[in-house]
């Protein structure tokens, strides 16, 4: 099982980035996907999660209206479109896959089955 996140980088406040995560090793469409982030000195937190078919999504309050999660099951890929970025969005962003939306949105993904290595997002003021 492998989750490979990419798309991070350095961006000015107000800018945009799109993260991608390609999954392999499992039947992608059978798994809920989530994006999480961890800033230095802080706990990991949920950013967004999306259901198996993409029909349902959940977001952290801090990113609602700015971030959009989506998935392409034909490409085994989940995306996170981030707009109106703020310095407080600076963190390492991780993708993860799990069996249920409950797994994805509770306990900051503690019960998610598989995790990628993360991609750094830095937002300068």
For the chain, what's the residue count? 125
Angle at 6 between CA 50 and CA 110, to 5 degrees: 45
Number of neighbours of residue 90 by Cβ within 10 angstroms: 18
Which pLDDT belongs to residue 82? 98
Which pLDDT belongs to residue 12? 98
User: Which residues, 6 or more positions from 46, have their beta carbon under 8 angstroms from its beta carbon?
Assistant: 34, 35, 36, 58, 60, 104, 105, 108, 109
Q: Would you give the DSSP letter of residue 11? A: E
Mind listing the pLDDT tens digit for each residue in 101-122? 999 999 999 999 999 999 999 9
Tokens linked to 42: 């802080």
Average pLDDT over residues 12-19: 98
d(CA 73, CA 99) in angstroms, rounded, equals 15
Whether the CA torsion 122, 18, 13, 45 is positive or negative: it is negative
Element (H, E) at 69: strand 67-72
Mind listing the pLDDT tens digit for each residue in 80-97? 999 999 999 999 999 999
Mind listing the pLDDT tens digit for each residue in 32-66? 999 999 999 999 999 999 999 999 999 999 999 99
């Amino acid at each position: 099982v492998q989750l490979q996140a990419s798309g991070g980088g350095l961006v000015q406040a107000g800018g945009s980035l799109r993260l991608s995560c390609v999954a392999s090793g499992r039947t992608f469409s059978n798994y809920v996907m989530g994006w999480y982030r961890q800033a230095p000195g802080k706990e990991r937190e949920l950013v967004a999660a999306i259901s198996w078919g993409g029909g349902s999504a959940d977001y952290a309050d801090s990113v609602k209206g700015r971030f959009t999660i989506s998935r392409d099951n034909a490409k085994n890929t989940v995306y996170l479109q981030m707009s109106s970025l703020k310095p407080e969005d600076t963190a390492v962003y991780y993708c993860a896959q799990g069996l249920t939306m409950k797994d994805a949105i509770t306990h900051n993904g503690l019960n998610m089955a598989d995790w990628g290595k993360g991609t750094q997002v830095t937002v300068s003021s």
